[in-house]
Amino acid sequence: MRVFVRTYGCTYNQADSEALQRALQVAGISPSSEKEADVVIVNTCGVKDNTEKKVLYYVEHCPKPVVVTGCIPQADSRIIERIRPDAVLLGVRAQDKVVDAVEAAFQKRRASFQKGRVVGGASVDGIVARIRICDGCLGSCTYCFTRLARTGLKSVPVPILLTQVHGAVANGAREIRFTAQDAGCYGKDFGGSLAALLHAVSELEGRFLVRVGMTNPQHCDADLWRAFSAKTFAFAHLPVQSGSDSVLEHMGRPYSVNDFKQAVNEYRSIVGGSLATDLIVGYPTETEGDFEASLKLVEEIGFDVVNVSKYGRRPGTIAARLKPLPSRTVKERSTALAEVVRQKSLELNERLVGAVFDAVIVERGRKGVVARTTAYKPVVLPAGEIGEFVRVRVTGAEPTHLFGETAPE
């Protein structure tokens, strides 16, 4: 039997799909192209409405037997059952049942597997390894679809994660991505912490760098930032979501704009690296003044990366009960914010021209290779070996990346 896995969504979903593929290969089930597959596994994402539409269209029209997993069927299985009643459903925490699910689909038997466990292990792709450190979160965001699917928090014990990191590095990984719905929650279900995990990882042998995944601001403090070591990218992804206290309260975000600024100031004073954030525009209660506050925050903070999303109503969430803003208003605000982000990012990157950084080459690009500095800034180089640690001099800048050349050690 041959199986193709189609993945939608975030790094966590990618790691989940790779875990499913490992479990299938252990059972002697071969991966294949979509065209040659006997069964297709669809790992779904329901974070955004437009993504969900693409997922559902694919599930409905896929000509092969399908196993559907991920956030959409986990949050509401009826969504899949309505459009594809013959689909086999696989729970996000029942990955060890993937072989049973695939066999049921192949035999055209309706089935749903919801009880089991997550398949562990690191997913190594070239020199990049994705490691899931925890599943679920402790938040109560009014707009979030994911928390309906991944309820509660389940952290992977530190010894298991250390073994996974060690194994990934032994297999050639140089960039270790710790992925989670909220990395800042790590360990809070057993009395541990993300800081303690990073301290433990820093003691491992080998040359590698850990990229800490998205961390909500309420879980950030000086202890966490002091745990960043020479084996951690000086990079933080802190999603603020809005520059307005009023909107943050309506969103169910448990911090104020000033709290966020304090977290940023502590990070920059202790770590001093690059900073990414997420902003949602067009939340139903967002006024013009609230939107202006988000623009002001981008100007004031100076983020290296800003992921701008237009609010989209997600069924089953508290925010779905609210009257949405006119789509034209949301689009105009998104366009305006994206332009401010582009200008600010270019301004910040241009300041780095002439600077020299340590970096690791992580992938091939259209114009050479891409290296990541120790602050996780992407630098396009004319040539180099994947996995090689180099020193780079920045020679040019764009809003989303830098250009450079290798510099003497």
For 338, the enclosing helix (H) or strand (E) is helix 327-350
Question: What DSSP state is assigned to residue 5?
Answer: E
pLDDT, residue 48, reads: 84
pLDDT, residue 195, reads: 98
Phi, psi of 155, deg, nearest 5: -95, 145
pLDDT, residue 383, reads: 96
Give yes or no for a contact between 345 and 160, defined as CB atoms under 8 angstroms apart: no
- The rounded distance, in Å, linking the Cα atoms of 293 and 246 is 10
Distances (CA, A) of 381 to 181, 364, 377, 400: 32, 9, 13, 15
Average pLDDT per consecutive 10 residues, the chain (409 residues; last block may be shorter) = 94 91 93 95 90 95 97 93 96 94 96 90 89 95 91 95 96 96 97 98 98 98 97 99 99 98 98 98 98 98 97 93 97 98 98 98 92 98 97 98 94
Give yes or no for a contact between 181 and 136, defined as CB atoms under 8 angstroms apart: yes
pLDDT, residue 47, reads: 85
- Domains and their CATH numbers in the chain: 2-113 (3.40.50.12160), 123-350 (3.80.30.20), 356-406 (2.40.50.140)
pLDDT, residue 46, reads: 86
pLDDT, residue 39, reads: 97
At 186, is the secondary structure helix, strand, or coil? Answer: coil
In the chain, what is the straight-line distance between the N-terminal and C-terminal CA atoms, in Å? 51
Distances (CA, A) of 115 to 136, 144, 277: 16, 24, 35
Nearest C-alpha neighbor of 118 from the set 30, 248, 13: 13
pLDDT, residue 375, reads: 98
Give yes or no for a contact between 17 and 7, defined as CB atoms under 8 angstroms apart: yes
- The rounded distance, in Å, linking the Cα atoms of 203 and 222 is 20
At 217, is the secondary structure helix, strand, or coil? Answer: helix
Its pTM stands at 0.92
**Which residue type occupies 359?**
A
